[in-house]
Amino acid sequence: MTMSGQREADAEELSINGVNVEASLWILVPKAAVGIALSMLVVLLRFWAEFGYVSMFAVGFAVFIAAFEVLLIIGLRFADRPDVRTTVKPSNDLLDHLGGWWLMACAFGAFFGWLVGNLVVLMPDQWRVVMAAKVFLTIIIPVATMIPNLRYISRNAAYVQVPILFFITLLPILVGVGALISLITGARP
């Protein structure tokens, strides 16, 4: 089998709902939308069945799962396409090391920010410190680790790279925006 024949065979194996991953994103994401919505519904129903209500943590977790599924589709779509890769060579400097922690900062910053935010019940007199820690974990660290990655946006894939950087960084920011508002207004949560 020739190299191009092997690649075509591999591409045929990678499909989502019978749609080849080489298809347009405008075809792939709507095809997967039913599965994504179903997985979110299953997560929310599971939380409701276990606790009798759906908390904001459950909603956040369901959104996190949906974002992961969309990223998986986009990742499969662009995994083997050198035309959408950046032309900027990594410089292996401090900014590259900081930017390498971006996805971890977004996922775990939101989780640990949520945990720290719940400490306000245990330490009501120290609510400003708790809210400042939550803002640091959910807003400052994700944004600070995202900024070095902006230099790797390529002209050919900016339509994918910019929304990924923006929306993934927005998820932990949504967890911390209430704490930031509390700090700015001085209103106790």
CA distance 95 to 42: 39
Question: What is the mean predicted confidence (pLDDT) over 160-185?
Answer: 89
Measured in degrees and rounded to the nearest 5, phi and psi for residue 112 equal -70, -30
CB–CB of 120/189 below 8 Å? yes
CA distance 154 to 156: 5
Task: Read off the pLDDT band of 23 (50, 70, 90).
Answer: low
Average pLDDT, the chain: 83
The residue behind tokens 């106790």 is 188
CA distance 18 to 70: 17
CB–CB of 171/110 below 8 Å? yes
Contact residues for 125 (Cβ-Cβ < 8 A; gap 6+): none
User: For residue 1, is pLDDT > 50?
Assistant: no
Q: Which 3 state secondary structure label does DSSP give 15? A: strand
Residue 122's Cβ-count burial label (10 Å; 0-12, 13-18, 19+) is exposed
pLDDT tens readout for residues 84-143: 777 777 787 888 888 889 989 998 998 899 899 988 889 889 999 999 999 999 999 999
Report the pLDDT value the prediction gives residue 137, as an integer from 0 to 100. 95
Report the pLDDT value the prediction gives residue 25, as an integer from 0 to 100. 66
Domain residue ranges of the chain, discontinuous segments joined by +: 1-80, 87-189
pLDDT tens readout for residues 51-84: 999 988 889 889 888 888 888 877 777 777 777 7
Both tokens assigned to 131:
């809210």
